[in-house]
Amino acid sequence: MPLPPAASFIGLEIGNGSLRGARVNISGRSLAQYAEPMPKMSIEGIVSQLVNAVKAVDGAGPEAAKAVGIAVPGIVARNRVSLCANLSVLDQLPLADELNRRLGRPALLENDANAAALAEAWQGAGRGGRGVLYVSLGVGIGAGIVVDGRVWSGPNGYAGEIGHVHVEADGEPCGCGSRGCLETVAGAPGWVRRAGVGLEKGRRTKLKKDDLSQKTILAAADEGDPLALDVVSETAAALGSTLAAAIGLMNLDRVVLGGPAACTVLFDRVVEETKKRTLPRAFAECTFRLSELSDGAGVLGAARLARIATMFGEPQRATPPGYM
Ligand SMILES: [Zn+2]
């Protein structure tokens, strides 16, 4: 069903202590924006703030948004949050049903990394890719997979959880209960831990014990600091091995690296490490890019999700079969 030119959609993203949102038109251009703190609160408080955010950016009459997408920091399956470590009040609650009832229009939930992946595939560094993997590099490692313009989150929402792919035999313990997960090597705490070990061993470096962070390590690596470069290279090797497996499994044609740690010094090494471990032709046909949308990706992706659901029906379920 073609959409009228005035159609618009709202995307919201529940972040770490904040709620951001926008109403966008069918081309993705922002028409109104919202950003407020979101303190930890009851489910009723969260629903009220989401409803208020929608009202704050909504248009009137034919310009009212047709649907609302919400990016959440957790696993989403069948339009329900099934696991949300930072906002456990959301777990298993029928948030989308409640919003749908209060707003009188479809409300769709999606994992935040999946929403960012959808936005990159639509308007960012994933444009033109048919098999797009977006990886967010920061404290943790998140990822989203977009196949032919649709998020592929798997039957139960776990697709793209590459932070818990095993990369190191007998590696460090991980928050998931396993050891040696990608996140233990490539997440910010892993960087700080390894830089700290290097300092204790008396490695030559400009890094300071009381000022170790992913940011200071990246800045030092950029200036050629040998210890910082080792930390970055170890991260790149672990990421490269995981990305090579992903390309081999899925025949990806686009890999987009985003998040606070995504920058040239890491990117170049990740591409090199992936190349070493991937079938040459599969590697040659896959393009690597740094993300283009930075902070706004989750909101834009959530709005895109709302648009897709409206265009292709089945708006009540986030991951219906063939919803594009
Ligand atoms: Zn893990």
Q: Which residue has the tokens 């969260």?
A: 46
pLDDT at 266: 97
pLDDT in tens, 250-287: 999 999 999 999 999 999 999 999 999 999 999 999 99
State in Å: Cα 298 to ligand 1 middle: 23
State in Å: Cα 161 to ligand 1 middle: 9
State in Å: Cα 187 to ligand 1 middle: 11
By C-alpha distance, which of 160, 135, 182 is closest to 77? 160
State in Å: Cα 166 to ligand 1 middle: 8
Rounded to whole angstroms, the Cα distance separating 104 from 96 reads: 11
**Two structure tokens written together for 76:** 């989403």
pLDDT at 314: 47
pLDDT at 316: 41
State in Å: Cα 261 to ligand 1 middle: 19
Q: What residues sit around ligand 1, an ion, with C-beta below 5 angstroms?
A: 164, 174, 176, 178, 181
State in Å: Cα 183 to ligand 1 middle: 7
State in Å: Cα 162 to ligand 1 middle: 9
State in Å: Cα 45 to ligand 1 middle: 31
Query: Mean pLDDT by 10-residue block, N- to C-terminus, for the chain (324 residues)?
Result: 83 93 94 93 88 96 93 89 73 83 93 96 96 95 95 92 94 93 97 98 96 97 97 98 97 96 96 98 97 90 93 51 40
State in Å: Cα 180 to ligand 1 middle: 7
By C-alpha distance, which of 217, 227, 219, 286 is closest to 251? 286
State in Å: Cα 184 to ligand 1 middle: 7
State in Å: Cα 55 to ligand 1 middle: 39
Residues whose CB falls within 8 Å of the CB of residue 127, separated by 6 or more in sequence, listed in order:
121
State in Å: Cα 274 to ligand 1 middle: 21
H or E element, residue 299: helix 297-312
pLDDT at 315: 42
Rounded to whole angstroms, the Cα distance separating 46 from 65 reads: 20
pLDDT in tens, 29-63: 999 999 999 987 788 888 999 999 999 999 998 89
